[in-house]
Structure 1
Amino acid sequence: MQIPKDSQLDAFDRKILEIVSEDGRIAVTELANRIGLSKTPCAARLKRLIEEGYILGFRAMLDPQKLGLEHVAFAEVTLSDTREKALAEFNQAVRKIREVEECHMIAGRFDYLLKVRTPNIRRYREILGEKISSLPHVASTSTSVAMQSVKER
């Protein structure tokens, strides 16, 4: 991830964030060597970046193909009501659907874009019909299916 230079972070902090965004399991000693600091100040900076909320957490990236989750679809969702209360209700409910990997509010011809990962199109259709379409205030959906994932994080 490219960290903007106009942020409140110095060059060392930006470099730490760039490195750990690519390799969250990097040893502090290796991290320190790569950014040109000794271990103790590097560890202190890393701890501060976590405490200040620049680093939200660390997680393993799993191979969807090995797990049998090769089907990726993008659901465009249009709501019947876009007042703040309705948006909050939708946001809260969509977070509970495990198959929805990402959910973005969109400024455009629809209200939300959902990235949904399932084993196959049949399971996607079930998720769409049973879970997504029954979310609060959903008026309509439209689906695009990914043929290939070229870059994912």
Structure 2
Amino acid sequence: MDATDRRMLTALQRDGRLSVTDLAAEIGLSQTPCARRLSRLEADGVIEGYSARIDQGRVGLPVSIFIWVELERQAKDAIDAFERAVRGFDRVMECHLMTGSRDILMRVVAADLADFDRFLEEKLMRVPGIRSTRSSFALRTMVKRQVLPVG
């Protein structure tokens, strides 16, 4: 990946709806080489896809909850089983395998406390192999970046 690829990625992170024509003009390439580079970045998996950023509060999911999960066992099969289960929960926005005393850190969205309680009772607490959980509610987001510093 060279400097031109990095400029392309920066421009697309700012505005994923750029046409190839506009992207080429912004980074100083003609359309055909720009389109070739774009196709290569997509094929190589550098660009994973395109999507709209949605304000979670405006769609009725204003609450973010961070949940630390400790598993009963840290064996690969137990971690894989947990991962398969939570992949099916649409409220789980992020789920990370962590180092330290807790195994998993998840970010979940909810409409309110009752909605979160339903998620816990009907989804998360039914996943086998969980030893304990600890939840923290985000009061506000202080920094949220969508643009990786690829430049």
Partner of 1:10: 2
**Superposed CA RMSD:** 1.1
Partner of 1:40: 32
- Aligned position for 2:137: 145
Tell me how many residue pairs correspond in the alignment.
145
Q: Which amino acid aligns with 2:114?
A: R
Report the more deviating stretch, 102-111 or 131-140. Answer: 131-140
Task: For residues 41-68 of structure 1, give each alpha carbon's deviation from its aligned partner in whole angstroms, at most 9, with x where no partner exists.
Answer: 0111001100111111111111212111
1:74 equivalent in alignment to 2:74: no
Which of 27, 30, 41 does residue 22 from structure 2 map onto? 30
Q: 1:58 aligns with which of 43, 50, 56?
A: 50
1:6 is matched with which residue? none
- TM-score normalised by length of structure 1: 0.90
Separation (CA, whole Å) in 2 of partners of 1:136 and 1:21: 38
In structure 2, runs of 5+ residues without a counterpart are: 147-151
1:106 aligns with 2:98: yes
Higher relative contact order (CA 8 A, sep 6+): 2
Counterpart-to-counterpart distance in 2, 1:55 and 1:40: 18
Contiguous gaps of at least 5 residues in structure 1: 1-8
Q: Deviations over 1:16-43 (max 9, x none)?
A: 1122122111111111112111111011
Percent of pairs with identical residues: 38
